[in-house]
Amino acid sequence: MSHYHHFDNCFDGFKDAARDFGDYMRDMAGEAGWKGQGGPFGRNWGGHFDRHFADLFSPRANIYTIQNGSLVFEFMLPGIDESAINLSFSGDTMILKARAPEEGAEQETRRYEMRRFVIRDIDRREYSVPADRYDQAAVRASYRHGILTVTVPRREGAAETEGIKVEIQREGN
């Protein structure tokens, strides 16, 4: 028996976790609309895809409420012109779309040493903004230094929900 046998058990756990994560990401990619075979993880999986894996996490966003109850969204949209951003509401959903500028000849010939972000189109992202709790008609949006800040005020008279307490019972008793 090798003196490394303790590590073998650890690596088996890592392999299982990686396999579970891969299965999860494959399922999530399918739900996100990937086309083709395999998954969004590159050539080794086969198939051609019309979406990039990073699209699942783009745009990066902060979503929070402020003291007066307003809901605030901050979206990172580097390199996108303000006129190319479309923000709308449909029912309880806020919809964000944006078009990136066309790449010029100079950008197509660049050879990156490091690339941390890509300026890309945002075809459609949906965010929950319940109309009974937030005044969608009074929304304010500002765009500065590549950050889109959207503030949706809390609707007057919207009741604070206390929530429902769920009793948890121990199984096997």
CATH number of the structural domain spanning residue 133: 2.60.40.790
Gap between the Cα atoms of 44 and 97, Å rounded: 31
Nearest to 34 by CA among 57, 59, 52: 52
Tokens of residue 121, six digits: 């189109």
Q: Tell me the pLDDT tens digit for each residue of 111-142.
A: 888 877 778 888 899 999 999 999 999 999 99
Q: Are residues 89 and 121 in the same domain?
A: yes
Q: Which single residue is written with the structure tokens 């790449």?
A: 103
Nearest to 88 by CA among 5, 150, 42: 150
Q: Are residues 128 and 107 in the same domain?
A: yes
pTM: predicted TM-score of the whole model, two decimal places: 0.61
Which domain, by its residues, includes 104? Answer: 58-152
Q: Are residues 34 and 66 in the same domain?
A: no
Gap between the Cα atoms of 87 and 93, Å rounded: 11
- For residue 134, count CB atoms less than 10 angstroms from its CB and return exposed for 0-12, middle for 13-18, buried for 19 or more: buried
Domain count for the chain: 2
**CB contact set of 151 (below 8 Å; sequence gap of 6+):** 66, 70, 71, 72, 73, 139, 140, 141
Would 165 be classed as within a structural domain? no
pLDDT band at 3 (very low <50, low <70, confident <90, very high): low
Q: Tell me the pLDDT tens digit for each residue of 152-173.
A: 999 987 666 666 677 777 787 5
**CB contact set of 23 (below 8 Å; sequence gap of 6+):** none
Q: Which of 1-5, 90-94, 140-144, 168-172 has the lowest mean pLDDT?
A: 1-5
Direct distance between the N- and C-terminal alpha carbons of the chain, in angstroms, rounded to an integer: 44
Q: Are residues 142 and 64 in the same domain?
A: yes
Mean pLDDT of all residues in 17-45? 61
Tokens of residue 9, six digits: 């058990």
Q: Are residues 95 and 127 in the same domain?
A: yes
